[in-house]
Amino acid sequence: MDIFGLLIAFIFGVVCQMFSDVIAKWFFRIAPIQLTRWFYVFSINPRLYFKTLRNTPERNIKQLIEKLFHAWETKDHNLYLSCWLEDATRIVGDISNAEERKSQIRRKFLDSCQRYSKIHVESLIFERINILEQGDGAIVEVRYRFNLIRAKDQLPIIEDAKEIYSVLRRDDAWMIKANYDHFLIIGDGMAS
């Protein structure tokens, strides 16, 4: 290939790269957050997506966490509590050492259900599900977004968070042993 052909190929490559960058930026700006987050996670961990399509521990764990978030939307405290082991704990905040027990977890759930007239799960993305060596435990990392409506004044709130769960298999069912509220970003519901 002569120098002219190499120059044309180089220019064509640069133009294609610029065009694909523009398309990607446009897509991520207009696409719903659920789709953009899913696309990002799928691009870095496609195996997880395919594992959750089959009858695997990853799929069963995903269904457990989806049940937990469905309980938030329906404000079903019995369904919510059925996801947690009796000796479950939760740590709130990334620098806190205080652990909440199941009774406190229940109380905060009920308080949130009263505080918000509407709880909608806009996005629930599984970033990783790592089965532990023994096979009876796993670490689950999720990113979610709630659209909330405050009951007292109907103000919209967005809660965007990342959480880590430790789950254990008990009698062929997965249950939450511990939850770590990794970080939390709350803002008004006018943001997108």
- Exposure string of 92-122, with b = 16+ CB inside 10 Å and e = fewer, is eeeeeeeebebeebeeebeeebeebeebeee
Assigned CATH for 48-188? 3.10.450.50
CB-based contact 58:51 (threshold 8 Å): yes
Q: Using one digit for the tens of pLDDT, what is the confidence trace for 143-174?
A: 898 899 999 999 999 888 888 999 999 888 99
Q: Show me where the domains of the chain are located.
A: 48-188
Q: Using one digit for the tens of pLDDT, what is the confidence trace for 21-49?
A: 666 565 556 555 666 666 676 677 778 78
- In this predicted structure, the answer to whether residue 191 has a pLDDT above a threshold of 60 is no
- pTM here is 0.75
CA dist., res. 39 & res. 70, Å (int): 22
